[in-house]
Amino acid sequence: AQNVPNSDWEKKVTEYFKEKLKENNATNWVPSLNDVPVHYLKPNSLVKFRCMVQDMFDPEFYMGVYETVDPNTNARVLHFGKYRDVAECGEIDLNSSQTVTSERQTFYCVPVPGESAWVKEISFLTELVLSRVSPSTSYTPSRHKRSYEEDEDMDLHPSKQKEQHMGNSSGGDIHGCVEPKRLETEASAGHHLISPNCSPPLDLNFPLPGEKGPACLVKVYESWDSFKVNDVLEVYGILSVDPVLSIVNNEERDNSALDPMECMDTAEEQRVHSPPASLVPRIHVILAQKLQHINPLLPACLNEEESKTFVSNFMSELSPVRAELLGFLTHALLGDSLAAEYLILHLISTVYARRDVLPLGKFTVNLSGCPRNSIFTEHIYRIIQQLVPASYRLQMTIENMNHSRFIPHKDYAANRLVSGVLQLASNTSLVVDETQLEQGQLDTTGVHNVTALGNLITWQKVDYDFNYHQMEFPCNINVLITSEGRSLLPSDCQVHLQPQIIPPNMEEYMNSLLTAVLPSVLNKFRIYLSLLRLLDYSISDEVTKAVEEDFVEMRKNDPESITADDLHRTLLVARFLSLSAGQTTLSRERWLRAKQLEALRKARLQQQKCVNGNEL
């Protein structure tokens, strides 16, 4: 209101919020759609949302500046259309010379797939403590008041009354209800939402089955080229849940049925791109940032001065944390300390660069020797789930392979990207449980799914299906394969499990492991694994030369025993071994330790081969 058109008021808005959010704990004062049901949040208020970009819609045009005319007095008033879906009251002069058409991009965003429960809990508790107010109750009164205002409006607009009645039947009564039905946050991909305005069910398009949380249409006004599908973002913006959106879209659908020439979009496309705001709220973005990680125990950006202090303090006590984590994982792996060492290296691995098509830094581990059809693999996954911010357990059954949708594909009728299990955010831990595999026949879908899984492991990419062509989407997914024998899938490193203890009651043993760990120690493990993934690493020329000489020497002694692949793997082990000890350069000692670990691992595989008489 204080600015005239063509001024730089938009920059001032962004700068204002940027500065305000830098103030002490200000980000924790902003209510989050990840934690608070949308019907508790005040419409047109500032909210935040931690999400993954699942799809990008076509850019849309809106009236950046428009003029309204008062029918009684003919008075003209200019309005700004940014950060809103519905124009302010008044009769709009569509022929006004003052009208400015602007452009914005819409992203379809979902909560981070496979996000661990502890990430949600710690984020919510931090906000609760630091904001000193419960967001879930602070906005209830304004919603009461709003409903009374709407009551008056009902007499003037019977269509709204019908809409309100239908909306209430789907959303549940929020008045006097302590735990309202959370349609927005409790919707799972397996259970489609029935929207009051659409006869077919509304699919929220979550990549993983059983996911919960709101999907949002995120409207971006600037620098949208810097974001891409599968990016993880934290957005701050204006919440728009105007019921008028549902009515308008419903009327558009009805009208387009009468006159197909009026609207180029199909009914299916309109339904997907303009879902009811009560189910898929809109966020008009003021600030958006890509997240390096989603661990709430770590500073969001590690380059800032305060963050550097946090990192240096944690690095000073790294050694005991590593020792405790190694002990914890050794117990989880039934006393096998070598497998525990490799599991730590796997959990801190990450793709740090790409040479042509080759992803460098990926470290897929095949943990073979797992008991068949046992609850062991399920519990190993539960432990990993407690340590990493995002994970998913893929049970490799014939049923799952043949009937699951792994690869995202383009639906041209609805003009959207239909998600699949392999549409995951960077640094997600994917545990493939091959011990579930029975004899059976893979159909065409099953073969495609297994191929896609193999490509993900080998090339760290997923080829999305666009019907007439495939589009390559690079990814950075940590894959751990648990199997009885050697896995059918490719891997960088096979470690055969050698249990030192066989607990009489596996369930009891595994459960006692997690209950015995103090929450403060568990949090240190979580910081340790997330932080070490983000550290830089280098090898000095001197050590490079020493490694080359060592390799030549080993080849001289036994040319068959070591190949270029072995050298590459040993260098990877040395890299993650160094980082696991908080060292960002390779030392001679770490190189020798990496060689020792590799020798032990290979000896164990050889021993198993001799016992079984065939290769595992």
- Distance of alpha carbon 551 from its chain centroid, rounded? 40
Q: Is pLDDT above 50 for 534?
A: yes
Q: What is the mean pLDDT of residues 414-429?
A: 96
- Please check whether residue 363 is in contact with residue 346, taking contact to mean a CB–CB distance below 8 angstroms: yes
Name the pTM for this structure: 0.85
Q: Closest by alpha carbon to 223, among 288, 284, 292?
A: 288
pLDDT tens digit string along 190-214?
A: 445 544 444 466 789 999 998 988 9
pLDDT band at 580 (very low <50, low <70, confident <90, very high): very high
CA distance 204 to 273: 11
* pLDDT given at position 368: 96
pLDDT band at 166 (very low <50, low <70, confident <90, very high): very low
> What single string gives the DSSP state of each residue in 546-587?
HHHHHHHHHHHH-TTT--HHHHHHHHHHHHHHHHHTT-SB--
Q: What is the mean pLDDT of residues 97-112?
A: 93
pLDDT band at 518 (very low <50, low <70, confident <90, very high): very high
* pLDDT given at position 192: 54
pLDDT tens digit string along 120-164?
A: 999 888 877 765 544 444 443 333 334 333 433 433 343 343 333
Q: Is pLDDT above 80 for 84?
A: yes
Which residues does 581 contact at the CB level (< 8 Å), separation at least 6? 318, 319, 322, 590
Higher pLDDT, 129 or 283: 283
Q: To which residue do tokens 């596996």 refer?
A: 506
The arrangement of secondary structure in 315-535, i.e. its CATH architecture, is 3-Layer(aba) Sandwich (3.40)
Task: Tell me which H or E stretch contains 106.
Answer: strand 100-110
Q: What is the mean pLDDT of residues 491-512?
A: 94
Least confident of 218-222, 561-565, 609-613: 609-613
Higher pLDDT, 65 or 521: 521
* pLDDT given at position 250: 61
Least confident of 49-53, 132-136, 217-221, 324-328: 132-136
In percent, the amount of the chain with pLDDT more than 90 equals 59
* pLDDT given at position 174: 31
* pLDDT given at position 173: 35
Structural domain boundaries in the chain: 7-129+213-250+269-290, 315-535, 537-615
pLDDT band at 178 (very low <50, low <70, confident <90, very high): very low
Higher pLDDT, 446 or 91: 446
CA distance 259 to 570: 67
Spell out where 231-314 has E strands. 232-240, 282-290
Q: What is the mean pLDDT of residues 314-318?
A: 94
Q: Is pLDDT above 80 for 443?
A: yes
What 3-state class would DSSP assign to 176?
coil
CA distance 548 to 538: 16
- Please check whether residue 43 is in contact with residue 240, taking contact to mean a CB–CB distance below 8 angstroms: yes
Q: What is the mean pLDDT of the chain?
A: 84
CA distance 300 to 575: 25
